[in-house]
Amino acid sequence: MATVAIYAHSLSGESVYEDLRQPMTIAFGSRWISRVVVWLTQAVSMAPIAGRSVSLALHLVNGVLVWRLASAVLPELAGVFACALFLWHPLNTEAVAYAANQPELLVALFTLSALLLADRSRVLAWLACGCAVLAKEPGIAAFLLVPAWMAVRGRWSARACVVWIALSTLPALACWPMVAGHGNGLPVLHTVALNLSAIGWLLTKFVVPVGLTVLPDWWWLTPPAIGLCLAGWMFVYAIGAGIPAVSVVASFVLLSVLPRLLWVLPGGLREHHAYLATVALSVGAAGWLSSTHRSADASIRSL
């Protein structure tokens, strides 16, 4: 109810920004599941409120899945906190208020489902990962997040993870044209460093959510600024040397945005691209607040 109250203001009104060309955005690439959701929504109503209501419903379902996921590794109350933080965090408002960003919400829906299903059935988890790719190409990250999640919790052996990743090669190859077709003339390493810095900067908004904008200006990402941002990532991992749970959260964040590191976007990265990454940050923050990171650290060290 609180989430609906927060988002109530954004539901009505005219379409804005890329929602004005939403069908074109959805039609891009192989986003078949996203297309079906748009078709079904528009079959009911063409009004902007219809698409936004679907987005809000997807966000609420994702919140429930975050709660289920967090409850698997944290105390019950911490799971509720992770869910609330994910649902209410300002960094996620662009992903939800913008109907054109539904593919990001669907990617998170299928990725979270895959993580939860992996305990029961590898086939169902694999199919959920496939659905994430069919929602939006960066959903390919789901194929990496599942083995990482299962390995960290000691559920899968190294062999099982290798077999899983080998079986994920085909969908990864299917996504390759998406990356290969978006060159910017920069060396690959420069592109990766640029995107890694932009993602790092976006994720600082998780801690200090000020200066949020639908059109971030990346003019300041000059080589010295990129160097500073990369140093920030190294600093996080330096902290992780003492508190392994920090490294685990940072690694899950990186895995969730891995396809973005190679994908060059004309306007650069935007807040909704960090939607899946905020799952790991929400669970990590809940773990820190519940003081369970010490027991988590002990478990990680024992692996």
Partner 1 sequence: MRALIGAVALASCAVISAARLEDWRSDQALFAAATEVTPLFPAAALQRGAVALRYGQWWDAYAWTIRAAIFSEPRPEPPRYPGQPDWHTRVRGQLIWIDAALPVCDLPAARGWCSS
Query: Where do contacts with partner 1 occur on this chain (CB under 8 A)?
Result: 2, 5-7, 9-10, 12-17, 20-21, 24, 81, 84-85, 88-90, 92-93, 97, 182-184, 209, 212, 215, 264-268, 285, 288-291
Query: Among residues 298, 107, 73, 94, which one has the least CA distance to residue 211?
Result: 94
Give whichever of 90 and 154 is closer to partner 1, judged by the CB atom.
Answer: 90
Phi-psi group of 17: left, alpha or beta (phi > 0 → left; psi -120 to 50 → alpha; rest → beta):
left
The least CB distance from residue 119 to partner 1, in Å, is 27
The least CB distance from residue 98 to partner 1, in Å, is 9
Residues 6+ apart with CB under 8 A from 233: 196, 200, 250
How long, in residues, is the chain?
A: 303
Give whichever of 151 and 216 is closer to partner 1, judged by the CB atom.
Answer: 216
Query: Among residues 13, 57, 29, 65, which one has the least CA distance to residue 171?
Result: 29
The least CB distance from residue 292 to partner 1, in Å, is 11
Give whichever of 162 and 265 is closer to partner 1, judged by the CB atom.
Answer: 265
Q: Which residues of 105-118 are buried (b: 16+ CB within 10 A; e: fewer)?
A: bbbbbbbbbbbbbb
Give whichever of 162 and 188 is closer to partner 1, judged by the CB atom.
Answer: 188
Cα 20 to the center of its chain, rounded Å: 24
The least CB distance from residue 142 to partner 1, in Å, is 26
The least CB distance from residue 36 to partner 1, in Å, is 22
Give whichever of 66 and 150 is closer to partner 1, judged by the CB atom.
Answer: 66
